[in-house]
Amino acid sequence: MLNRLNDKRGFTLIEIVLVLAIAALIMLIVFLAVGGAQRPRRDAARKNNAGRILSAMESYASNNNGTYATIALGPGYTTNITDPLTGAVPSYGSNSTATAATPMYYASGNICNATGGTTTAGAVSRNVAVSYWSEVAAAAACVDNR
């Protein structure tokens, strides 16, 4: 006959804690991997936004007898251009370099410099430059219309 008092079924407390610890470790790894995969996507969106701003500046110039904007573009030109992480709108700033806090600057009469910012050195009035923040490189990048 079977003795029901000695019949041990189920899991011990140590086994349950071990399974929970393994599950938590797996969830942590997945969480870190997902966060790391989003940075390149946001950088690509910023680079795309920089191209859209260059296009908006060219559109502004074509609508204003070839004169580029010397102040921030209005909503008709920069509609829906925001930073994918912060939601910040691009700032107009001559001789400026993007940072994590201010992820995008643009300016007419500027070109890109060696540090990823905009500069007037060597630029002419028909130049336009956009400095944007890169999370992957943790540095500013720049595009211009030269």
pLDDT tens digits along 20-78: 999 999 999 888 877 777 888 889 999 999 999 988 888 888 888 888 888 888 777 77
Alpha helices in 5-68 (DSSP H): 13-63
In terms of Cα–Cα distance, which of 142, 133, 75 is closest to 107? 142
Please tell me the total number of residues recorded for the chain in this structure: 146
Could you report the per-residue pLDDT of 116-138, keeping only the tens digit for each? 888 888 888 888 999 999 988 88
Pairing between β-strand 128-134 and β-strand 104-108 as defined by DSSP bridges: antiparallel
The span from the CA of 32 to the CA of 111, in Å, is 37
What pLDDT score does 96 carry? Answer: 87
Angle (CA) 58-117-56 rounded to 5° is 15
Task: Kindly tell me if the per-residue pLDDT of 7 is higher than 80.
Answer: no
